[in-house]
């Protein structure tokens, strides 16, 4: 008891503080999301995501070179196709935008890990993450019909050379379907990073702007999770684990640190957390208004995500954070 115990003794100087620091963010944990678009020489800043760009395959490779050079081990690829259709066929096109980008990246930068986001919403004309079946006035996303398309898209991303497949659609049974398709095509060694606990979040707003993937009707509450549900999140993760996911993701990150911590205590496989577009945009906006110090706020949020239990942190701050980290 005081005065015997004085926690401030170990806070007296930076060296002592560094020595007793419990959690460290390192560059090796970071993943940078990238948006690839058709064309050549395209480098357009995304208005809702200052500092993030729509890149064509050639400029994407340039940026990826800088990302790899900064010590960031992986990128997460999102594609914005030329044409969208009802089924999202751009997702499994051998000449699709993500497939082209993956081939170019693996050719130019073989060490940089390419994580392919796997979903239909960027490719469907209606913006939903699966096949839409209409009954009169109502419509629903058909789970099992969607699984076949996801499996095809995964095989196509594998064929293009992706290092990790990351399904973000939230259909039931998709990890098993994708695993089966990958194994059947001979990709036994290709890992699956499952967006296992993905919540129907308002924080995806800026991304949907960037990807043009906002649903044209309804919302995603029929497949993404209710933000109020923690037990169900663990059940979702358990199912994906049993279906063969190699890594499990919680998304968004900061509003769901409790889920991340519970998952850390329960699963022994690596966990990822995705600091999503709205989490990024709110810090940028506050910093622009002069209300907080962006570098400090950025590192504080990223460190808290690690503290809660994430091994891998997917963040639009990967580049600026890497500059400040060991
Ligand atoms: C869906 C997908 C979304 C994000 C990643 N994959 C958006 C959604 O569910 O609408 C959001 C990422 C972000 O907000 O940064 N394929």
How much is the pLDDT for 235? 98
Give yes or no for residue 224 having a pLDDT over 90.
yes
Backbone CA torsion sign across 24, 71, 169, 190: negative
Confidence of residue 136 (pLDDT cuts 50, 70, 90): confident
Alpha carbon dihedral 58, 63, 67, 69, in 10-degree steps, equals 80
Contact predicate 211/35, CB 8 Å:
yes
User: Cα(1) to centroid of ligand 1, in Å?
Assistant: 50
CB-ligand 1 contact for 280 (6 Å cutoff): no
Give yes or no for residue 80 having a pLDDT over 90.
yes
Ligand 1, atom 6: closest residue by C-alpha: 168
Q: What one-character DSSP code corresponds to residue 2?
A: T
Q: What one-character DSSP code corresponds to residue 226?
A: P
Contact predicate 254/279, CB 8 Å:
yes
Q: What one-character DSSP code corresponds to residue 77?
A: E
> What is the average pLDDT across 121-147?
92
**pLDDT over 90 for what percent of the chain?**
95
How much is the pLDDT for 209? 86
Residue 242, number of CB atoms within 10 A of its CB: 10
> What is the average pLDDT across 183-209?
97
Atom of ligand 1 nearest to the CA of 198: 9
Give yes or no for residue 250 having a pLDDT over 90.
yes
Is 259 buried (19+), middle (13-18) or exposed (0-12) by CB count in 10 A? Answer: buried
Residue 184, number of CB atoms within 10 A of its CB: 11
Give yes or no for residue 138 having a pLDDT over 90.
no
Confidence of residue 71 (pLDDT cuts 50, 70, 90): very high
How much is the pLDDT for 129? 93
Closest CA to 284 of 72, 28, 46, 37: 46
Q: How far is CA 46 from the centre of its chain?
A: 17
> What is the average pLDDT across 304-319?
98
User: Cα(54) to centroid of ligand 1, in Å?
Assistant: 15
Whether 106 sits among the annotated catalytic residues: the reply is no
**pLDDT over 70 for what percent of the chain?**
100
> What is the average pLDDT across 114-141?
92
> What is the average pLDDT across 119-125?
94
User: Cα(12) to centroid of ligand 1, in Å?
Assistant: 43
> What is the average pLDDT across 233-249?
98
How much is the pLDDT for 1? 83
Give yes or no for residue 303 having a pLDDT over 90.
yes
Both tokens assigned to 90: 């751009």
> What is the average pLDDT across 301-315?
98
Q: How far is CA 146 from CA 132, 138, 165, in A?
A: 9, 18, 16
Confidence of residue 52 (pLDDT cuts 50, 70, 90): very high
Give yes or no for residue 270 having a pLDDT over 90.
yes
Q: Which residues, 6 or more positions from 62, have their beta carbon under 8 angstroms from its beta carbon?
A: none
Residue 15, number of CB atoms within 10 A of its CB: 7
Whether 251 sits among the annotated catalytic residues: the reply is yes
Confidence of residue 316 (pLDDT cuts 50, 70, 90): very high
Both tokens assigned to 307: 């503290």
Contact predicate 112/105, CB 8 Å:
yes
Q: Where are the alpha helices (DSSP H) in the chain?
A: 14-19, 57-69, 97-108, 143-160, 174-184, 205-211, 231-243, 257-266, 277-288, 294-308, 318-324
| pTM listed for this prediction | 0.97
Give yes or no for residue 137 having a pLDDT over 90.
no
Both tokens assigned to 107: 């050719």
How much is the pLDDT for 107? 98
């Amino acid at each position: 008891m005081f005065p015997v115990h004085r926690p401030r003794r170990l806070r007296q100087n930076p060296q002592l503080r560094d020595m007793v620091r419990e959690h460290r963010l390192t560059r090796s944990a970071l993943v940078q999301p990238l948006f690839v678009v058709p064309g050549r020489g395209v480098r357009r800043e995304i208005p809702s995501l200052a500092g993030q760009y729509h890149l064509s395959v050639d400029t994407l490779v340039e940026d990826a070179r800088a990302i790899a050079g900064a010590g960031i081990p992986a990128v997460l690829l999102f594609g914005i196709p030329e044409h969208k259709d009802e089924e999202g066929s751009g997702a499994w096109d051998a000449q699709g935008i993500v497939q082209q980008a993956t081939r170019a990246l693996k050719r130019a930068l073989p060490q940089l890990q390419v994580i392919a986001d796997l979903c239909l919403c960027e490719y469907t004309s209606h913006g939903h993450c699966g096949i839409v079946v209409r009954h009169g006035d109502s419509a629903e996303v058909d789970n099992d019909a969607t699984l076949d398309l996801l499996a095809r898209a995964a095989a196509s991303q594998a064929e293009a050379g992706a290092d990790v497949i990351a399904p973000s659609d939230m259909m039931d049974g998709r990890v098993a379907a994708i695993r089966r398709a990958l194994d059947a095509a001979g990709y036994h060694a290709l890992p699956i990073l499952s967006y296992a606990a993905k919540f129907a979040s308002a924080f995806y707003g800026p991304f949907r702007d960037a990807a043009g993937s906002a649903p044209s009707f309804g919302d995603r509450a029929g497949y993404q999770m209710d933000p109020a549900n923690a037990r169900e999140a663990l059940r979702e993760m358990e199912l994906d684990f049993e279906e063969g996911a190699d890594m499990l993701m919680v998304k968004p990150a900061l509003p769901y640190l409790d889920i991340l911590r519970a998952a850390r205590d329960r699963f022994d496989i690596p966990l990822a957390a995705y600091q999503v577009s709205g989490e990024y945009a709110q810090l940028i906006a506050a910093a622009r208004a002069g209300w907080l110090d962006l570098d400090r706020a950025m590192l504080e949020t990223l460190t808290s995500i690690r503290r809660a239990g994430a091994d891998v942190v997917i963040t639009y701050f990967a580049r600026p954070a890497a500059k400040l980290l060991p």
